[in-house]
């Protein structure tokens, strides 16, 4: 079937240092499988990708995080395709490196099953999506 739609999302790779840990969310994907991934979501009207990434991290995890001034450019941009019903969706995701702020709320229970900080080795075991593996590989190369 022909490409039906392009969706653009933004997300945050929230990194604690010493020892390195990333903020992860557990979700139920479109086929009902439980997976660990990084917080992300759609841009709202009038929002920049950076604004959407900060908002989505807060909404999904309860963590009020910031994009450091030196990290204003996206950390990584990924693209992948998936099926939703009978439609093929081209998904573009802009990822930003974020510094953890403070916990100001809680996860969105409608979307997020669990939130956790994971060391890089644990994150590598938890993630399944190829794009998440790409993110983690880039992150490891950046902090080593």
Q: Enumerate domains of the chain plus CATH numbers.
A: 3-143 (3.90.79.10)
pLDDT band at 108 (very low <50, low <70, confident <90, very high): confident
pLDDT of residue 3: 58
Q: Is the pLDDT of residue 74 over 70?
A: yes
Q: Which helix (H) or strand (E) is 67 found in, with range?
A: none
Residue-wise pLDDT tens digits, 17-51: 889 999 999 999 878 899 999 999 999 999 999 99
Helix or strand or coil: residue 136?
Answer: helix
Burial class (CB in 10 A: 0-12, 13-18, 19+), 103: exposed
pTM: 0.90
pLDDT at 2 exceeding the cut of 70: no
Of residues 13 and 29, more confidence is placed in 13
Q: What is the model's pLDDT at position 126?
A: 97
How far apart, in Å, are the Cα atoms of 105 and each of 5, 46, 59, 125? Answer: 33, 24, 8, 27
Question: How much is the pLDDT for 31?
Answer: 81
Nearest one of 38, 41, 35 to 21, comparing CA atoms: 38
């Amino acid at each position: 079937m022909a490409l039906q739609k392009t969706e653009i999302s933004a997300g945050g790779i929230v990194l604690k240092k010493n020892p390195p840990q990333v903020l992860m969310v557990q979700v139920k994907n479109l086929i009902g499988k439980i997976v660990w991934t990084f917080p992300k979501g759609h841009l709202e009207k009038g929002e920049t990708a950076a604004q959407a990434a900060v908002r989505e991290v807060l909404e999904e995890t309860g963590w009020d995080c910031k994009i450091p001034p030196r990290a204003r450019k996206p950390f990584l941009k990924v693209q992948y395709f998936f099926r939703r019903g009978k439609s093929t969706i081209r998904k573009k995701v802009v990822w930003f490196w974020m510094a953890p702020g403070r916990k100001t709320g809680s996860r969105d229970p409608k979307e997020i099953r669990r939130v956790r900080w994971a060391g890089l080795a644990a994150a590598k075991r938890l993630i399944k999506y190829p794009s998440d593996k790409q993110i983690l590989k880039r992150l490891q190369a950046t902090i080593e």
